[in-house]
Structure 1
Amino acid sequence: MTLYGMVFSICFFLIVSFFFSTHTVDYANETETSEKIDVPLKKTVAKDVENKLKQDEERPELTAFYTKIEQILSDNAKSFNGDVGMTYVDLATGKQISIDGTKEFYSASTIKVPLAMMVADKVASGTLKWEDQLTYNEKEDYEDGTGIIINNIQPTYSVRTLQEYNITYSDNIAKNMLYDTFGGDVEAKKALYAHFLQKETEWDDAKLTSEDAAKILKILYEEKAKNQEYQTIYDYMKHTVFHERMDTPTTSGKVAHKIGSYAGFLHDIGILETEHPFILTVFTNGPTDAGISFISAVTDQLWTAQTNEYPKK
């Protein structure tokens, strides 16, 4: 055999061995296998972090404390003559405890908080400016109830002024004029529910649950450090003219909250500034004014527990 013939034979043998060997690598399967290996590894790391957080959250002393919190909420709910939904969130650990937390209630003025957050986001995006002047339209914007605009209606208001009035005075006309920047209340509520809660609502009867409200307040709390306008909303809530419900002699000056009232629907949603801050959202529907004192009582009991019994590390 010639030299070239020998070289050809050797090459042919190697090629055949490669393709028919039991150790041949299937690259399509290798890619799939690699993905299957990588994903569990990533999930394992994430799971480890999740387990660590869970362990921190559910230390024996914290577990006992959260049992106490749940008992306070449960006992108060049983004592209320009507419907009630409550949610507590420990902002140090993220632990959430609810009593009928998914029960829906007419939102009343609690919806003004996520509305203000959407307006702030709209300004941040550059599609609206705080100094923009909005024109009052009686047919679209007039509404009885809370607020100060109704006492001396002007032709125009700046977005900044309406934003402040919407929260500080719970001004209904300011709310409606801010709705106008989204194309009216229907479009505004549609955007609001989709953005913050990833759900839909009946636009003429906008409803919230205590867990919905807690989710919105958690976003406000967590982002206000890097979002000055969210901090401003928080400050408006802290300096509201409504010193009732969650604003008690015990919590005065240390709660950022927003009340909502419509017939028997009496609500309050707030962030309470104890050493270990917490969120509380309470929605009620009962006899006239019953929800007001009920919310104050629950607030003070939770404040006392959070202040005096929260476990030290």
Structure 2
Amino acid sequence: MNKKYRVKTIPLLILLTILLLSSFYIYKTFISIESTPNESILTYDNIDPKITTNTEFSYDSTPTLSLKTSDYTSLSYTERLDMLYDNNYSLEDRIKIYLADDLDNIGLVYYNFENNNTININWDKEFIAASTYKVGLNFYAYYLDSIGKLDLDQYIDYLPEDYEEGTGILQDEYYIGSYKIQNLLDLSLIYSDNIATNMIGRYLGGHEEVRKNLYNLLKIDFPTEENIITPEIEYKILKYIYEFSYYPNFSHMLSVLTHSEYNDRLTKYIDSNIIAHKIGTYDSYIHDVGIVFSNSPYIVIVYTHHIEDAEEKIANISNAIYQYNNLAY
């Protein structure tokens, strides 16, 4: 090879090497970006329990009442209902007066996402969760899908052991057959379908296993053998869903929750289109839990046990909170 040819070849080889290295870097970067949606959205590490456990709550600064318990339990229901909407007093006091003798039989949480304003009444009290369990079930299923451990398009075959009367539309089907997991999840929230819930729960190892894995994921220390919950636990679940709602799965879940067929509680006096909520009913346990997408979004959770006209009382409390939230923010 003559000297003149070698001189021309060396710069060309250097240029080709640079181009190859650049192409390889761009390719790796592109692959990394493209693969991100299929990787874990949520992991044990990046779900930070400090989101909930270390929240600095703020409280209503409205003057509190000096009434003793005996003062407001002697009021008539109409008088207590009027007090519920009296903005001269703190919202928490108004709720307590309205509940009167029912106060010990309720668990309530109000939490405003924008300023951490909070009301919690008996939030560590235990209740039978009833169908509010289905919120956590959906959350856990969508989490599994996000890390590639569950395919929402997978079909699940119905088994006789999945049958359960009560709420839902599958119980009226002559032949249930197979359903996609995605469809079953939606049915469990919109119609509170018990059969759909049991099919998903069985597929995921059983309801106790679902609760155990869900609580491990959210770093919640609570027994999982029975369908028992506290308002605080439900608050943590809803808060995580809201704070990860920029992911399609959880955005879809919140959208589905606004289409509930049951609107006699939190949504009775409020536009149901702005409330992502789930009711629960079991004997004298009457509940409703949700997120209200008002100008200043907030969580509202109400669990009750042995309260007369519980649905109406939940509806009035929800309306009072909604009016307070809109007036304050």
TM-score of the two chains, using structure 2 as the length reference: 0.71
Counterpart residue identity of residue 241, structure 1: E
Q: Which residue of 2 aligns with 1:264?
A: 284
Match of 1:95 among 95, 99, 117: 117
The question of 1:255 aligning with 2:260 is answered no
Q: Which residue of 2 aligns with 1:64?
A: 62
Measure the CA separation in 2 of the matches of 1:102 and 1:285: 14
Deviations, residues 190-239 of structure 1 (Å, cap 9, x unaligned): 21233235223252x321111111111111111102x1111111011101
1:172 Cα shift?
0.5
Q: Which residue of 2 aligns with 1:296?
A: 315
Counterpart residue identity of residue 209, structure 1: T
The question of 1:194 aligning with 2:216 is answered yes
Match of 2:258 among 223, 238, 243: 238
Q: Which residue of 2 aligns with 1:115?
A: 137
| Structure 2 unaligned spans of 5+ | 1-54, 65-88
Alignment check: 8 A CA contact 1:73 1:99 kept: no
Q: Which residue of 2 aligns with 1:307?
A: 326
The question of 1:147 aligning with 2:168 is answered yes
Deviations, residues 253-307 of structure 1 (Å, cap 9, x unaligned): 221110000000000001112211111100000156x210110010011111111
1:309 Cα shift?
3.1
| Structure 1 unaligned spans of 5+ | 1-52
Counterpart residue identity of residue 62, structure 2: A
Structure 1 or 2, whichever has the larger Rg, is: 1
Alignment check: 8 A CA contact 1:108 1:260 kept: yes
Alignment check: 8 A CA contact 2:127 2:228 kept: yes
Measure the CA separation in 2 of the matches of 1:166 and 1:65: 43
Q: 1:193 to 1:77 in 2, by over 3 A?
A: farther
Counterpart residue identity of residue 130, structure 1: L
Pairs within 5 Å for 1:19-34 = none
Counterpart residue identity of residue 247, structure 1: T
Alignment check: 8 A CA contact 2:269 2:315 kept: no
Measure the CA separation in 2 of the matches of 1:295 and 1:57: 23
The question of 1:214 aligning with 2:199 is answered no
Q: Which residue of 1 aligns with 2:300?
A: 280
Give the CA RMSD over aligned residues.
2.2
Task: Report which of the two has the higher share of helix.
Answer: 1
Q: 1:213 to 1:65 in 2, by over 3 A?
A: farther
Deviations, residues 114-155 of structure 1 (Å, cap 9, x unaligned): 10011011111112212111111112x111110011111422
Measure the CA separation in 2 of the matches of 1:175 and 1:146: 11
Measure the CA separation in 1 of the matches of 2:113 and 2:93: 19
Measure the CA separation in 2 of the matches of 1:213 and 1:186: 16
1:249 Cα shift?
3.1
Alignment check: 8 A CA contact 2:95 2:317 kept: yes
TM-score of the two chains, using structure 1 as the length reference: 0.74
The question of 1:224 aligning with 2:224 is answered no
Q: 1:63 to 1:221 in 2, by over 3 A?
A: same
Query: What is the percentage of aligned positions where both structures have the same residue?
Result: 27
Q: Which residue of 2 aligns with 1:20?
A: none
Measure the CA separation in 1 of the matches of 2:215 and 2:208: 11
